[in-house]
Amino acid sequence: MYQIRTDLALETQEKMQEDKVDLKGVSFSEEEIDTNLVISTVVIETENGAKTMGKPKGTYITIEAGNMDEEDEDYHREISTQLARVIKKLVPVKKEELSVLVVGLGNRAVTPDSLGPRVVDNLYITRHILNEYGKFAFGKEGVNRISSIVPGVMAQTGMESMEIVAAVVKETKPDFVIVVDALAARNTKRLNRTIQVTDTGINPGSGVGNHRHGINEKSLGVPVIAIGIPTVVDAATIVNDTMASLLSALSQNEEWKRIGNSVNELNDSEK
């Protein structure tokens, strides 16, 4: 049977609406920044809502940027500004100077799984400088203490990512953790064009059916914000999207319209 496989709460909510599932305990809102930039918020408020959605209680904010995969610096700057606004909204600790551990999940050697390590490569790390010289080394009154780690994958280390991160958190005592990981989507149009930010943490490998121990507040003892971008889809998803395009084309042709309409009445698995 064809099963939806996605890490995006927005896609799960859309699928539930398509199937006319009663989503009690789940709220949804949408903000259109411009024609190519939309921010959607799914809040799972109750345990029943979490059970229906198959995701933990919490806030899931999705930035959909249709042209994010294009080389446009001004557009990317606008996305970065909106992403910063979303992250600030979810920051669990309110004080002038924060200590943050950024975790880059994934396998650097596998392109669609290398998002986390690549993000960490481009961070401005400050913890070691602050520890050695203090905040005035930056010439500023307030500086956030940023540290990072790329724990690799179990095949490389023999350890769960959660075990490595928990040990680092215990030693360095950050105010909260930001986890960056590649996600799976159910729609090819969202590949590399969508950013999900959530305050529920993350389960590494869940999008491709390889469930590992969750990295969240319960397992680490500090709040966790997860940031992800879909870089993979199921082969079944590609087939499903292709079928949708084919049926759309058939429905516009008078000779094939009846066949297209008949096939369109089938469910995903039957198609």
Cα distance between residue 99 and residue 104, in whole Å: 17
Give per-residue pLDDT as tens, 99-149: 999 999 999 999 999 999 999 999 999 999 999 998 888 888 789 999 999
Mean pLDDT, to the nearest integer, of 252-265?
Answer: 74
Between these two residues, 45 and 187, which has the higher pLDDT value? 45
Cα distance between residue 57 and residue 165, in whole Å: 22
Q: Go through the domains of the chain in sequence order and give each one's CATH number.
A: 9-233 (3.40.50.1450)
Q: Which of 32-36, 56-60, 203-207 has the highest mean pLDDT?
A: 56-60
Cα distance between residue 84 and residue 164, in whole Å: 27
Give me the chain's average pLDDT, please.
Answer: 88
**What was the pLDDT predicted at 3?**
59
Whether the pLDDT of residue 207 is over 50: the answer is no
Weakest-pLDDT range from 52-56, 83-87, 180-184, 212-216: 212-216
Between these two residues, 213 and 255, which has the higher pLDDT value? 213
- DSSP string of the chain? ------S-HHHHHHHHHHTT---TTEEEEEEEEETTEEEEEEEE-SHHHHHHHTS-SEEEEEEEETTTTS--HHHHHHHHHHHHHHHHHH-S--SSS-EEEEEE-S-TTSGGG-HHHHHHHT----HHHHHHH-GGGGT-S---EEEEE----HHHHSS-HHHHHHHHHHHH--SEEEEEEEEEES-GGGTTTEEEEESS-B-TTGGGT-----BSHHHHSS-EEEEEEEEEE-HHHHHHHHHHHHHHHHHTSTTTHHHHHHHHTS-TTT-
Give per-residue pLDDT as tens, 222-247: 999 999 999 998 887 788 778 878 88
Q: Which two tokens stand for residue 31?
A: 């903000």
Whether the pLDDT of residue 153 is over 50: the answer is yes
Please report how the helices 235-251 and 257-264 are oriented relative to each other, as an axis angle in degrees rounded to 10. 140
Mean pLDDT, to the nearest integer, of 146-158?
Answer: 93
Strand pairing of 176-185 and 26-34? unpaired
Burial of 206 (0-12, 13-18, 19+ CB in 10 A): middle
Whole-number percent of the chain with pLDDT over 90: 59
Q: Which two tokens stand for residue 179?
A: 């986890």
Whether the pLDDT of residue 58 is over 80: the answer is yes
Distances (CA, A) of 74 to 22, 68, 71, 118: 41, 11, 9, 21
Q: What is the pTM of this model?
A: 0.86
Between these two residues, 260 and 2, which has the higher pLDDT value? 260
**What was the pLDDT predicted at 1?**
43
